[in-house]
């Protein structure tokens, strides 16, 4: 039996916009297994980021439960959620979210300092191919380089769960594939469970399991017995 790392149990998320209620997630249930690499697909507005934010303890469900490693986190105090985000999670965002007045190395170091047993800084910077650029500031780096820093920042914590929201959304095709290869490497070599959210259906080919979102619901779950390496994906 595969171990469930995190689970959504009939999660609904509504946003109140004046008179209008937006149901971003509708009674959604999903189990994510330890060690898997999962791709969540769906058009803009289908609820992907809402789901990722709830998985990441950055937002709470309106109803339903979230269980991480068997523990309910959806009703946990804010201090518990902070500890959860700090110790268990890595995040990679479309626009990198680096601290602009810290160098590449300092951005990664800051994350490393949050946890008890980080990976050696040098190893992580080398893994993402940035060891020669570690004294550069984000503004001195290309989008792809900044995304590599943000992956190093997530990886240095040895997160059990790595959540990526449109990680290639701002990058050209070749750079995007390189970023996906790094995410796959963290999944395979470090054992992190990786969730990639994207509107780009081609990226689904790299996952063994693909979730398709539509209007706040999971429309389909596909098993893919022969995932493609990111270098072989085209879009
Ligand atoms: P996706 O990431 O798939 O593009 P989102 O999860 O961002 O979709 O959004 C799902 C729906 O919820 C959309 O209709 C969006 O407008 C709405 N929504 C998301 N976040 C908020 C918010 N903070 N306030 C109001 N509505 C929101
Ligand atoms: Mg989104």
CATH number of the domain where residue 179 is located? 3.40.50.300
Cα(117) to centroid(ligand 2), Å: 32
Q: Which atom of ligand 1 is nearest to the CA of 213?
A: 3
Give the angle 213-63-37 at the CA atoms, nearest 5°.
Answer: 40
Answering whether pTM is above 0.85, one says yes
Query: Looking at the domain assignment, is residue 68 inside a domain?
Result: no
Does 47 contact ligand 1 (Cβ within 6 A)?
Answer: yes
Residues 6+ apart with CB under 8 A from 82: none
Q: Which atom of ligand 1 is nearest to the CA of 51?
A: 6
Number of domains in the chain: 1
Interval 34-68: pLDDT, tens = 999 999 999 999 999 999 999 999 999 999 999 99
Point out the ligand 1 atom lying closest to the alpha carbon of residue 53. 6
Q: How do residues 61-108 score in pLDDT, each as one tens digit?
A: 999 999 999 999 999 999 999 999 999 999 999 999 999 999 999 999
In this predicted structure, the answer to whether residue 1 has a pLDDT above a threshold of 80 is no
Residue 166 within any structural domain of the chain? yes
Q: CA dist 234 to 115, 177, 205, Å?
A: 37, 9, 10
Query: How many whole angstroms separate alpha carbon 179 and alpha carbon 176?
Result: 5
Is residue 219 included in any domain, yes or no? yes
Ligand 1 centroid to 200 CA: how many Å? 18
Q: What is the mean pLDDT of the chain?
A: 96
In a domain, 106, yes or no: yes
**Confidence (pLDDT) at 235:** 85
CA angle, 178 as apex, 176 and 183 as ends, to 5°?
95
Would you say residue 90 lies in a domain? Answer: yes
Strands lying side by side in the sheet with 37-41: 89-93, 161-165, 193-198, 37-41, 209-214, 217-223
pLDDT in tens, 197-227: 999 999 999 999 999 999 999 999 999 999 9
Range of the domain at 44: 35-63+76-230
Q: Is 18 inside a domain boundary? A: no
What pLDDT is recorded for position 131? 86
Q: 191 lies in a domain?
A: yes
**Is 11 part of any domain?**
no
**CA-to-CA distance for 9 and 174, rounded, in angstroms?**
37
Q: Which residues pair with 223 in a beta bridge?
A: 209
CA separation, residue 216 to residues 26, 50, 194, 200, 208 (Å): 5, 9, 21, 17, 22
Tokens for 172, please give them: 């050209």
């Amino acid at each position: 039996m595969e171990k469930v790392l995190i689970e959504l149990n009939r999660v609904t998320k509504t946003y109140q916009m004046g008179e209008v209620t937006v149901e971003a997630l509708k009674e959604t249930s999903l189990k994510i297994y330890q060690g898997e690499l999962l791709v969540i697909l769906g058009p803009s507005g289908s609820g992907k980021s809402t789901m990722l934010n709830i998985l990441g303890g950055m937002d709470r469900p309106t109803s339903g439960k979230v269980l991480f490693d068997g523990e309910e986190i959806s009703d946990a105090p804010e201090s518990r959620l902070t500890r959860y985000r700090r110790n268990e999670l890595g995040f990679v965002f479309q626009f990198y979210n680096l601290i602009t007045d810290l160098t590449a190395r300092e951005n990664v170091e800051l994350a490393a300092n949050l946890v008890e047993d980080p990976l050696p800084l040098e190893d992580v910077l080398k893994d993402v191919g940035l060891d020669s650029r570690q004294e550069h500031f984000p503004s001195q780096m290309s989008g792809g380089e900044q995304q590599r820093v943000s992956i190093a920042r997530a990886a240095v914590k040895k997160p059990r769960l790595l959540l990526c929201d449109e990680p290639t959304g701002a990058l050209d095709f070749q750079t995007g594939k390189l970023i996906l290869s790094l995410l796959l490497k963290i999944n395979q070599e470090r054992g992190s469970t990786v969730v990639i959210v994207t509107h780009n259906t081609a990226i689904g080919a790299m996952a063994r399991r693909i979730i398709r979102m539509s209007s706040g619901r999971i429309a389909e779950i596909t098993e893919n017995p022969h995932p493609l390496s990111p270098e072989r994906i085209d879009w």
